Amino acid sequence: MSGTDEGNGGEPAGIGPRLIAPEFPPLSTTVQVTFGARSSRGRLRMVNEDHYLVLRLGRHQETLMTSLPDEAIAARFDESGYAMVVADGMGGAGAGEAASHLAIATLVHLVRHFGKWSLRVDDRVAQDILSRAERFYRHVDSVVAEQRRSGTIRTDQTTLTATFGAGADLFFAHVGHSRAYLFRKGHLMRLTRDHTVGGEGPTTAPMAPMVDVNVSARDLSHILTDTIGMDGPLGPLIDLERFRLDDDDRVLVCTNGLTDSIDEIRIGEVLASDRSPQEHCDALVALAMAEGGNDDVTALAARYRLPR
């Protein structure tokens, strides 16, 4: 990618190897992530009211022309971060599907137009990511609530659970009773809590430190106290958290159609296998459908490989 300058045939006098640019591999360039996704309409549903998204965010530097030698400046440099999002709409007659659709589409719009896409995370950047995520969720909630009020397109309410990872840092933002899980070294940990009258809902997996385990009756586990589009005076409670990934961590984000149908022991058994994230999602959704599959079922999975 050299320009048209002539006369630099070889290394200039006085420029030695010490001034050749060293390799610069920030963690976000070396972490390897693979994903899977599967969604199935429930047998009692007219349409699948779940929606999902797996997204790669990136930035790059590309050398177009230079007089420097190839070893001094790489032709291209890329960094990436990754997001997974699920939304479980409610309301029936297409209103839930419209709500979950609108929530994810609005979130993507906000990320594209107002996101900083911070891919090198320290404590200051982490706080900014969490604050920005809360603002984005507040805006998504107001958009969905306003659409419900205006009635131009019939929408209702939705859950919204998202993870974002850059390097070894993973963040999640959560409203509703969809869930995120972390499977690490043979153990399943539930990252999110259910925003329901019953508190946590049925669970056997230990919770992340941000909340306590409080197993509640199943008949309360579907009465939601916080949703996107709930149209309350203060808006929904938004759970936000950051944690560090380890090598070979697996992360699952799913709707309650999965967790109502199969228990966490079987979820952990599936994630423990050395199959691909896509095979994990296929297996989990198939198990849920085999147990009745009355509700829509969506599973997203990621496997993170960190350099040692």
Per the CB < 8 A criterion, the answer to whether 228 and 158 are in contact is: yes
Which residue in this structure is represented by tokens 């999965």?
258
Of the candidate CATH numbers 3.30.420.40, 3.40.50.620, 3.60.40.10, 1.10.3720.10, the domain formed by 31-61+79-305 belongs to 3.60.40.10
* Three-point CA angle 174, 178, 184, nearest 5°: 80
Phi, psi of 86, rounded to the nearest 5 degrees? -125, 145
How far apart are the C-alpha atoms of 165 and 156, rounded to whole Å? 30
CA distances (Å), 135 to each of 141, 142, 164, 212, 239, in order? 10, 11, 15, 26, 12
DSSP states along 186-239: TEEEE-----BTTBT-S--SPBPTTS------GGGTTSBS--BT---SS----E
Which residue in this structure is represented by tokens 């790489």?
74
Length reported for the chain: 308
Q: What are the structure tokens assigned to 242, written together?
A: 């950051």
Q: What are the structure tokens assigned to 272, written together?
A: 């423990």
* Three-point CA angle 178, 182, 185, nearest 5°: 155
Return the H-helix or E-strand segment holding 150.
helix 123-150
Question: What is the 3-state secondary structure of 20-83?
Answer: CCCCCCCHHHHCEEEEEEEEECCCCCCCCCEEEEEEEEEEEEECCCECCCCCCCCCEEEEEEEE
HSE (side-chain half, CA atoms, 13 Å) at 256:
24
Please report, in tens digits, the pLDDT of each residue of the chain (308 residues total). Answer: 545 555 555 555 555 555 555 566 677 888 999 999 999 999 988 899 999 999 999 988 899 999 988 878 878 888 999 999 999 998 877 899 999 999 999 999 999 999 888 889 999 999 999 999 999 999 999 999 998 888 777 888 999 999 999 999 999 999 999 999 999 999 999 999 999 876 555 555 555 443 322 333 334 455 778 899 887 778 899 999 999 999 999 999 999 999 999 999 999 999 999 999 999 999 999 999 999 999 999 999 999 999 87
* Three-point CA angle 116, 305, 211, nearest 5°: 65
